[in-house]
Structure 1
Amino acid sequence: MKRLFTTLAAMTLAACSLAQAAELKVMTSGGFTAAYKVLGPQFAAQHGDTLQTILGPSMGKAPEAIPNRLARGEQADVVIMVGYALDDLIKQGKVVPDSRVELADSRIGLVVKAGEPKPDISSVDALKQALLNARSVGYSDSASGVYVQDQLFKRLGIEAQLKPKAKMIERIPVAGEVAKGEPQVGLQQVSELLPIAGVSYVGKIPEPVQSVTRFAAGIPVGAPHPQEAKALLDYLASPQAQSVVTGTGLDSVPH
């Protein structure tokens, strides 16, 4: 009889736990996605919640972009995106201001197709020459690509030379296109380059012309599960998450 009561008590606790579990809807942009794909399941296993993940850029005109999704009235419990794009959503009243959590810093790197010679990009002059020598250059439609298009080429003094052969690649990973052979070289945040097969990672572009993108996360106004969402954000920013964060090509930020 005692064993029966113990079994019933365990079943009751399990049922209560399942009843309390939430399905969190998470919208995340590319730069933090590799880390999230590891950390998200770890959080779910520890907390009993499930995660529904929706991928989309932090900005831009694509309907998949996180701001455009929220503007259409799509609900989410958590948004993970470029910090300044998140700040815009906070100013618009779309994200709870004091829910903002700093996650990681992301730097821009360069890839070529696997098997092709790796160009020297160890200095600003070397990077400039590598881009001039490239048959074609691709960059993303998110934060890193906006910087490459609007600032990097100008700072290197090669904007006019690159205009005919440089292209912004929308929605899909730049490295995936490089793996197919065009463009010949690709520029994007390191954490978005490393997971893609068929390319060789050359390295980060030099610090004097580097652009560091801060990734952050927040809870949209009207989120169905704000308490569980806060627990997820605390976990993603926790000390125990940092080995995963740095292992995916990102840099930790102080908290």
Structure 2
Amino acid sequence: MSDDDESSASGEYHAEYHPHLREAAAYTDDEVTRRAFDVRQVRGADAAGLRCCLPEAQRSYRTPSDQEQCPMCDASCHPNCLDKLRNEEMRRGRPLAYGCPQCGTLWRTDAETAAAAERQNQANANRTRPTAKPYRCRRDPISGRFVCTFAPPSTGQPCGWTRKTRHQIRVHHNRAHEDNPDPSCDCAGVSVFDTDDEDNISADPPPCPCPICAEQYYCRHAAAAHCRKEHRINSWPPKCRICHTIFDKYLDLIVHLTYAHQNPRPSQ
């Protein structure tokens, strides 16, 4: 999986791992520091002969074959595969410590790798324009990974999604927490409303209204992007005016109104 080719958070990923990783997730940072060992970074051609001990997560041809190797049992895995495992377990309510999936040894990133990652992140920050989007992240002091700390309105709890760089966290935030205009909109320009001409639904799509001001848009993604741009300051978080349910994105609210309340227009 590359920086801009993130797998869906809903994709199931099952892998065997040592139970100590679940137990160690409750350790304090000081306790983890005492028990952790520097993980070996095996890069390039040196990693070609290593076999990942986890089922390989979705990857692109641009993804390097670098692996992380346990200093105790010599088992190795791709960083993306380990991140995928930890993210999926976090989603299931079972956080895992950063460590070897095979023997349960806790890992920490060596100083050289951490310094290189910091230089890369600083370079990316210098090239990236400032953004007003409220994405938040923190750097885990043990694993060196970046953790999404944005709190979705529906739960109020930090997201917890883990990635290697700030850029990957920004990509995750944009896809998981933002109503961005989507040029490859999966509704193909068709709104969520039904039409009389089911055989030619895309020829004359009915409008999709903004749930706040009722302005008409060609599809739900365009309406959601409008809400994010025009109503974020005065109407956040997205909230159903009928049942008062709070949503994480305006797109979720629009779909909810369509299917739960049969397309009601917002009150003026």
TM-score category (smaller protein): under 0.3
Structure with greater contact order relative to length (CA < 8 Å, sep ≥ 6): 1
Is the helix fraction higher in 1 or 2? 1
TM-score by length of 1: 0.24
Which of the two has greater strand per residue?
A: 1
For the pair shown, the structure with the greater C-alpha radius of gyration is 2
